[in-house]
Chains A and B, each alone.
Chain A
Amino acid sequence: MRRISHEWFFLIPITVFLGLFVFYPLTRVVLRSFTDNLTGHFTLQNYLNAFTQTRYLGSLKNTLWFAGACTLVGAVGGTFVGLLASRMSPKARGMLLSFYSLPMTLSSLVVAFAFIVLLGRNGVFNIILNRYLGLPKFDLYSWHGLVVTYSFYNIPLMTLTMASVFLNLDRSLIEAARNLGAKAWQVWIYVIIPVLAPGFIAGISIVLAGMLAAFGTALALTGMAKSLLSLQIYSHASESNYNIPQASALAVVLIVVIVGSLATLNWIERRLRPGGER
């Protein structure tokens, strides 16, 4: 007699929930992406559109550039602040990291609004810049503006990751390496980078995946003026430009892009790991 262990019953609620609200909708997305918007027949046209029409191709290119730039800024800024945080007293670090966890739950619209007040055409910052310093205004509604705004999410996110990564970097490892005769650059190559890499890559994976799909703040700031893949999906899936099959196909493309990026990062991480595949 083999009794089913009670753990499996505890998985029923989440299984039902995931089935109903994740796998079922996702299946619908995939199936609908192969149908014609009007007739409902099978077609590959939606995918063909995604890779031939300039608006979609352009949005895909924009998305990649935008997400890449955001990730770069987030990675550099977050690593820098994370390093500083790891050197602070525990109390100062606790305070800093508490503040840096705030943006995580902040509504994308609130962030948009905050930056409009701060950096918008008549924002405080631009008044100082323009009226008192005689410099040209900062354009919040440009690509740069979007990257700066989204950095408000990404730098803190990366900071939280990197602070713990730096804190976990065992000083005695470095000292042991120096003691064994390693030069400074060798310590970096053989000790520090391999130890930091997994956390760093995990951090930028989260940022990059988030930025590939982000649209809330961009929508609030620039409407549909900046063509991002996620905004194209949004416009087809919401009332303005209703075409669910096209939105679905673009969503599948987006998922593939995200999975591809994450897989690439994962591959790089494994190469950096000491003793990993060469």
Chain B
Amino acid sequence: MRDQGARAAVEINAVTKRFGNVVAVADFSLEVQRGELVTLLGPSGCGKTTTLRIVAGFERPDSGRVFIFGREVTHVPPERRDVGMVFQNYALFPHMTVFQNVAFPMRIAKRPKREIREKVREYLALVRLEGLEGRYVTQLSGGQKQRVALARALARSPKILLLDEPLSALDAKIRIQLREEIRQLQQKLGITTLYVTHDQEEALSISDRIVVMNEGNIEQVGAPTEIYFRPRTLFVASFVGTMNFFTGTAVTTGGEIKLKWHEVLLSLPPGANVKPGEAISVGVRPERLSLAFDGVTIPPGHNVIPGDVSFVTFLGSIMRVEVMLADGTKVKIDLPTKEGVNPQRGQKVYLCFSPDDAVVLKT
């Protein structure tokens, strides 16, 4: 056994898992630190669940190793891993009451009756379900079920908590409420957590770090702001949030490297590591774009592209404007709303953005 204190809570080391011809997880490596909440985010079928199930011990990797607090668990069966899991469809035991469900792991561990009773009460209080001990789980609402599932997973005092899309079966409002509660609970208990979701907003809002996955591979690992503002690949840029892309070739003009996009030359953010002749994309978030209705109000140093307003959606706090450019590209812009400012369909406008707000991505 290695030195426990120095090591990550979870270490996934070059894990690969195939199902027939499908490579569900490809050479996946990740370290999760103590007390961290790390989210696996990615489109359907990218291998999130499989990764989580490998950590839980339900799947054996074809190659690679898994460590939990320095102890190798690659071939340890799930019941001896000390890992709590919350399932998408709750997986509560239908023949048991709420109390019996939460008490189950302690009963299995042969804890004394009194201790079990106290602990169950404690955990139910933690997930705000006091008073429902005697109910059968079939008589609970979806949100209540997921709280029971959470209390049950925690009741074993696991070293690590795994959650596989725990909120996807709930409606929007409860989803937001419960995800905040999960985050607060996680921070309060300081429990190391791996969280799977395909909902980027959920990932951005609760994670310490996000792992963006695609087809079994890690695309990028980073803090939510980093993932959002500095995506490193086209996939991350387009999967997390909305991004407008301008794709072309890098050229040198006046000692400066710019992107030649059709007839327009776009300045790149300072420090962009691009060679002339390279095919690149420049990505800009809708809220980093602004509109000028004439040539005069354009802020200095901004990139400017002319176009026609093709669609306007009023959303209350913001207004989403779609602008069609000369080549037919549609660009989305989010404007803060102000009474009296109403771009009209067909109106000629200028798109503006600061080079600082753009990200450069190799294609």
Contacts and interface: CB of A to CB of B under 8 A. Distances in A.
Q: Do A and B touch each other in the complex, judged by CB within 8 A?
A: yes
Interface of A: 1, 3
A93 to B, nearest CB: 25
B75 interface: yes
A3 B76 CA distance: 11
Nearest to A1: B75
Nearest to A5: B60
Contacts of B60: 3
Nearest to B74: A1
A3 B75 CA distance: 9
A1 B75 CA distance: 9
B15 to A, nearest CB: 15
Contacts of A3: 60, 75
For the complex of A and B, list the 3 residue pairs with the smallest distance between their C-beta atoms, beginning with the closest: A1-B75, A3-B75, A3-B60
Contacts of B75: 1, 3
Contacts of A1: 75
B63 to A, nearest CB: 11
A18 to B, nearest CB: 29
Interface in B60-86: 60, 75
A124 B60 CA distance: 70
A133 B75 CA distance: 83
3 contacts: A1-B75, A3-B60, A3-B75
A123 to B, nearest CB: 50
B65 to A, nearest CB: 12
B79 to A, nearest CB: 12
B217 to A, nearest CB: 25
A1 B60 CA distance: 10
B293 to A, nearest CB: 51
A3 B60 CA distance: 10
Interface in B35-70: 60
A236 B57 CA distance: 58
Nearest to B62: A2
A1 B76 CA distance: 13
Nearest to B60: A3
A134 B25 CA distance: 84
A3 B59 CA distance: 12
Interface string B72-109: 00010000000000000000000000000000000000
Interface in B236-266: none
B306 to A, nearest CB: 49
Nearest to A6: B77
A51 to B, nearest CB: 48
A215 B298 CA distance: 97
Nearest to A2: B60
A6 to B, nearest CB: 10
A159 B60 CA distance: 48
A1 B72 CA distance: 15
A242 to B, nearest CB: 54
A231 to B, nearest CB: 49
A27 B75 CA distance: 43
A171 to B, nearest CB: 29
B75 to A, nearest CB: 7
B86 to A, nearest CB: 25
A267 B75 CA distance: 48
A1 B63 CA distance: 10
A156 to B, nearest CB: 33
A3 B57 CA distance: 13
A119 to B, nearest CB: 49
A33 B75 CA distance: 52
A35 to B, nearest CB: 47
A148 to B, nearest CB: 46
A6 B75 CA distance: 14
A8 to B, nearest CB: 15
A3 B74 CA distance: 12
A9 to B, nearest CB: 15
A3 B61 CA distance: 12
A1 B61 CA distance: 11
B145 to A, nearest CB: 28
B123 to A, nearest CB: 31
A20 to B, nearest CB: 33
A165 to B, nearest CB: 29
B73 to A, nearest CB: 14
B363 to A, nearest CB: 42
B260 to A, nearest CB: 53
